[in-house]
Amino acid sequence: MARVAAIDCGTNSIRLLVADVTAADDGSRWLRDVHREMRVVRLGQGVDATGVLGQEALRRTREALVDYTAVLRRRGAERVRMVATSATRDAANRDEFFAMTREVLGVEAEVITGDEEARLSFTGAVSDLAPEEGPFLVSDVGGGSTELVLGAWDGVRGAVEAAKSVDVGCVRLTERCLPDDPPTPAQVEHAVAVASDTLKAAFEHVPVAKARTWIGVAGTVTTLVALAKDLPRYEPDEIHLARLSVDQIRETTSRLLTMSHDERAALGPMHPGRVDVITGGALVVRTIAEHLAEHAGVTELVASEHDILDGIAFSLSR
């Protein structure tokens, strides 16, 4: 057994998992959470327009990372891995971000390849599913990008057949297309067109028609599930492996499209950091859902609380 710490820094949030990873003789591994935490720091705020990471965004990220470092040291993590995704890939001042993470955390943050990101996300997402439910399509709607990953799972290892990351996510779509709150019908139409056009490259690269089960990970999907189930607060145990039909996804998205900022903020399961961008994320999820219903006959989404963060933790157990 190894105690490890995984950090995933994305466009919208930074997350920490401290976990004990146990490996069996047959190669199977499982996690026991010691500490799991998420902060919305909006690292990628404005990056799409300016090409640089904002100083306030870097400050928010540093504050979260200082706190995370204290937690993982107090919890006795033996190995640490930090992965940085979409917002840092192309920012002109990315060196400033990496110098900060190195100073605070004491290890290098990694900007991983799309293939590695897909493998880690897939491993985390399918780890609680039965192999016979595959092939699996995992979608990860982040702040700046969305990944689609198709693969199989034998209960021990995941095998990725195809994966594609495209530049559309809840923050990016909101900043580009949804300036009003609530958005106008014309803005929604434009956002749907942008999401569909951008996702087209993923649908062409990943043979989604092979999928038997669709798994959605990350905060947009889990929040949509909580809202569709009318949960009074965010309850991970109620959300993990819950299933939503395409009609439920449409209904929940339509409801969000008519709500103001304050109305969304008053929803019990809504994290304050998602209030501004949940509508854009919901439109991305709805676009995926409608494509899968038409082209793969998959009409249900399985939500997973386990994702790339869990995959990073598993990678440290070797």
We report the CATH number of the domain holding residue 202 as: 3.30.420.150
For the chain, the domain total comes to 2
Determine the structural domain holding residue 57 and report its residue range.
2-114
Residue 172 neighbours by CB distance under 10 Å: 28
Nearest to 9 by CA among 54, 74, 56, 60: 60
In a domain, 137, yes or no: yes
If asked whether residues 141 and 174 sit together in one domain, one would say yes
Does some domain include residue 31?
A: yes
Q: Are 264 and 170 in contact (CB under 8 A)?
A: no
pLDDT above 90 covers a percentage of the chain that reads 70
Q: Around 22, how many Cα atoms within 13 Å sit in the side-chain half-sphere?
A: 6
Q: How far apart are CA 122 and CA 294, in angstroms?
A: 23
Whole-prediction pTM: 0.81
Task: Please give the pLDDT value at position 25.
Answer: 66
Residues 86 and 166 in one domain: no
90 and 15 belong to one structural domain? yes
139 and 258 within one domain: yes
**Ranges assigned E (strand) in 12-115:** 13-23, 29-40, 79-84, 109-111
**For the chain, which ranges sit under pLDDT 70?**
24-29, 86-87, 318
| Three-state secondary-structure class, residue 142 | coil
pLDDT at position 97:
93
pLDDT of residue 24: 67
> Considering Cα of 193, then 197, then 198, then 200, what sign does the dihedral take?
positive
Decide if 75 is inside a domain: yes
Residues 159, 38, single domain; the answer is no
Is the domain of 108 the same as that of 201?
no
